[in-house]
Structure 1
């Protein structure tokens, strides 16, 4: 165990330096140190004196530029609902010995699923740490992993968790990196750490990279973590609900069992039971779709734009700068949250660098040109 602690401390030192050199990189979020940094991160908006003109070095103000590169995810009703639901599920599951259920975030690419997944994890960890009166050194409440590059083997999935926990050994040199070697089975140490550190939530992103057959190979292990340790699982990815459903069928061979049961009942002279929903059919799913702007819903998209406007820190930003171009922004981004956030962020950076300090169609044109 001492070797594992030393390994984790060495990795944390390297990651701290990496985050200092390249802040806000996504990779460290799949490591415990990086995840805790994300949970603690407070992106404070630059303070602009009322009516003051931009300073001479404003165009190179790294703090202002960094802030607008990292605009927060503006909450919508779906996001708020999902956050509350999962946090509540964690609280409920902590007092249950059975009845835990998985949760799924599904929807087209670019609708903000990963942002929501991480927002859920951060909210859950903050809730847990509030109960325990701060972060405890012997607790890892949330584990955030991505689907392995090769999801065929169960060992590779466990390796992803082990990597997050700091258990998987780092290569000593480039030669080891280039060597084709199989991952060792770290099931026992992973189980031990998850149990002793009271892990409550596992976030699994990019589940769409796995096939139903590949998922079927790892679901029994994830079920074990849920049923034995009371860990809530959240799967995220385009088509995630269908993938999980198909994997469950492959895992349990539900169709074959149902057919054999029906034949057995008929043979016994009893009527066949009426079909009832399977557990996977009742799986809680949060669907994220492109933000609408049509006759049925004129409010949602404009509400998100208003949220971005409130977060922007530009000297000459006009009132309703984004909202007045709502139709055009929706046409150019399709209502996809990822494209919209990129457009607003890029337009703000352009406004700072050009000195306009405002977002008009000129800045929007330049920003959307980068979307290709």
Structure 2
């Protein structure tokens, strides 16, 4: 026990150092220490000195550059709706014994699904902790995992949860890593911790990396977490809704095979049972699409409102009013309205503005930023 505690402490110390050195790396978000840091993190823009002239050394100001490299996810209608729906579902699921349902975030690549998933998880945890009058020791409201590199075996999925909880033993040497052939089964300790830590929400990202058959193998375990422990699940990934539908069909077929063989003759003389809709056909799905910029005033308003939110987050000395909004049509043409590309262009243009000393985003900075996207 003492050895495992020491290993856990060393792991957390290393994570804290990683967060200090490279706070925006994704890896710590899939471990409890890093996720908790993300939930508590307050990203404030660097304070601008009085006047319109940058302070000396501004062009190499790592704090200002780091801030603009990672702009926050600005609110959109889909994000607001999803946060409200999931928080409500988490509270409802924790207070009922039946009717628990999963949620899905789906849409084309680059539309901001992962950003939304994490924003929803952070909001849900903050809501849960606020309802409990603060964070309680030994509680883990939210677990955030990604689809394992090898999603074939159920044990690999549970290993991802165990890694987040800090239950998996770390290898002591490179030789021990090379000797590992498959993950150990940590189902029992994972179940115990999830139950005693009162976990309420499980976020599963990049579900599109799994095949329907691979997901079908683990769905019964996710059903167990939902039905016994009352844990709400959010699946995220391109094509997630279709994938879950196919996996649910396969999972049902796998569990019905022996029963169908046993009752085949009996059922031959009976009228067919009414067909029920697939559970996943009724799943609440949040669809993310590229932000529109059509001819209708409402569509233009959505895109310009997003740009205005980005403008409010920028911390540049000479940023003109409506610096981004006035170039809405061109920004939409170059990014296609894809949230990931739009965020990249704006944040890159802001860094270019700092390093060049212009401290403003014009077509010059936008040209330089989009040139780095390639043809």
Q: TM-score, normalised by structure 2?
A: 0.94
Instruction: Check the 8 A contact 1:68/1:349 in 2, yes or no.
Output: yes
Residue of 334, 338, 341 corresponding to 1:339: 341
Of 40-49 and 327-336, the range deviating more from structure 2: 40-49
Deviations 1:139-159 (A, max 9, x none): 000000000000001010010
Corresponding position: 1:367 with 2:369: yes
Residue in structure 1 matched with residue 172 of structure 2 by the alignment: 172
Q: Is the 8 A contact 1:111 1:338 kept in 2?
A: yes
Superposition RMSD in Å:
2.2
What is the CA–CA distance in structure 1 between the aligned matches of 2:160 and 2:206, rounded to whole Å? 13
Once the 2 structures are TM-superposed, how far is the Cα of residue 128 of structure 1 from its aligned partner? 1.0
2:284 matched residue in structure 1: 284
- Contact kept, 8 Å, 1:148 with 1:160, in 2: the verdict is yes
Shift of 1:256: 7.8
Q: Please report how far the alpha carbon of residue 8 of structure 1 lies from its aligned counterpart in structure 2 after TM superposition.
A: 2.6
1:265 CA drift (Å):
7.7
Q: Return closer, same or farther for 1:6/1:227 CA change in 2, 3 Å cut-off.
A: farther
**Counterpart for residue 66 of structure 1:** 66
Structure 1 residues 45-83: Cα deviation after superposition (integer angstroms, max 9, x where no partner): 122245331112111111211111121101110110001
Decide whether the 8 Å contact of 1:155 with 1:184 is kept in 2. Answer: yes
Rate the CA distance shift 1:74–1:264 in 2: closer, same or farther, 3 A: farther
Structure 1's unaligned 5+ residue stretches are: none
1:132-178: CA deviation from partner (whole Å, max 9, x where unpaired):
22222210000000000000010100100000000111111122223
Task: Count how many residue pairs are aligned between Structure 1 and Structure 2.
Answer: 370
Aligned to 1:109: 109
**Which secondary structure does the structure 1 equivalent of 2:280 belong to?**
coil
Which residue number in structure 2 is paired with residue 329 of structure 1?
331
Q: CA deviation at 1:179?
A: 2.8
**Cα deviation code 1:329-349 (max 9, x no counterpart):** 001001000000000000000
Unaligned stretches of 5+ residues in structure 2: none
Partner in structure 1 of residue 351 of structure 2: 349
CA distance in 2 between partners of 1:199 and 1:56 (Å): 49
Cα 1:347/1:264, change in 2 over 3 Å = farther
Please tell me whether the aligned partners of residues 7 and 167 of structure 1 are also in contact (alpha carbons under 8 angstroms): no
Distance across 2 between alignment mates of 1:264 and 1:100: 33
Counting only pairs closer than 5 Å after superposition, residues 114-133 of structure 1 correspond to structure 2 as 114-133=114-133
**1:309 equivalent in structure 2:** 311
Counterpart position of 1:86: 86
The change in CA–CA distance for 1:3 and 1:95 in structure 2 (over 3 A counts) is: farther
- Cα offset, 1:205, TM superposition: 0.3
SS at 2:281 equivalent: coil
CA distance in 2, matches of 1:367, 1:334: 15
Q: Does 1:141 align with 2:141?
A: yes
Are residue 75 (structure 1) and residue 82 (structure 2) matched? no
**Are 1:217 and 2:220 counterparts?**
no
Change (3 A) 1:292 1:255: farther
Within 2, Cα distance between the matches of 1:115 and 1:250?
A: 30
State the 1:30 CA deviation.
0.3
Partner of 1:155: 155
Q: Which residue of 2 aligns with 1:28?
A: 28
Aligned 1:176-187 pairs, distance under 5 A = 176-187=176-187
Distance 1:103 1:367, change over 3 A: same
Task: Kindly indicate whether the alpha-carbon contact (under 8 Å) linking 1:262 and 1:273 is maintained by their aligned counterparts in 2.
Answer: no
Rate the CA distance shift 1:5–1:231 in 2: closer, same or farther, 3 A.
farther
